[in-house]
């Protein structure tokens, strides 16, 4: 169900459950393919809060493509920067910029 909700945000995004408490969203490295719908994205967050047993949502973006404006947009919604020392071990902090939303 999370995948169908995610598709309403953008068909180019994907998600994976990490452990029992973290939903990881991978945004495409090509920012022009985001097709972001803010309303649908907020609905995704609400769906996760109400229907999934997750405690946090990890947003992963290409470290070389991220800019301050994009990071600020996600920060406005409630995401915080995740320190590279706190990244899950299967996510490379040299390549990925991550933000976390705590439920």
pLDDT higher than threshold 90 for residue 85: yes
Rounded to a whole number of angstroms, the CA Rg of the chain reads: 13
pLDDT tens sequence across 5-39 = 444 445 566 777 888 899 998 877 665 555 566 77
**Could you tell me the domains of the chain?**
2-102 (3.40.630.60)
Average pLDDT over residues 53-78: 89
Rounded Cα–Cα distance for residues 96 and 41 (Å): 20
pTM of the predicted model as reported, rounded to 2 decimal places: 0.79
């Amino acid at each position: 169900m999370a995948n169908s909700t995610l598709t309403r945000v953008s068909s180019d995004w994907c998600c994976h459950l990490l452990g029992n408490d973290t939903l990881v969203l991978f945004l495409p490295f090509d920012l022009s393919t985001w097709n972001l719908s803010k309303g649908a994205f907020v609905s995704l967050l609400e769906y996760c809060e109400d229907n999934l047993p997750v405690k946090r949502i990890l947003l992963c973006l290409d470290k070389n493509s991220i800019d301050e404006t994009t990071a600020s947009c996600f920060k406005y919604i409630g995401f915080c920067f995740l320190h590279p020392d706190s990244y899950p071990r299967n996510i490379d902090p040299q390549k990925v910029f991550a933000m976390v939303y705590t439920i």
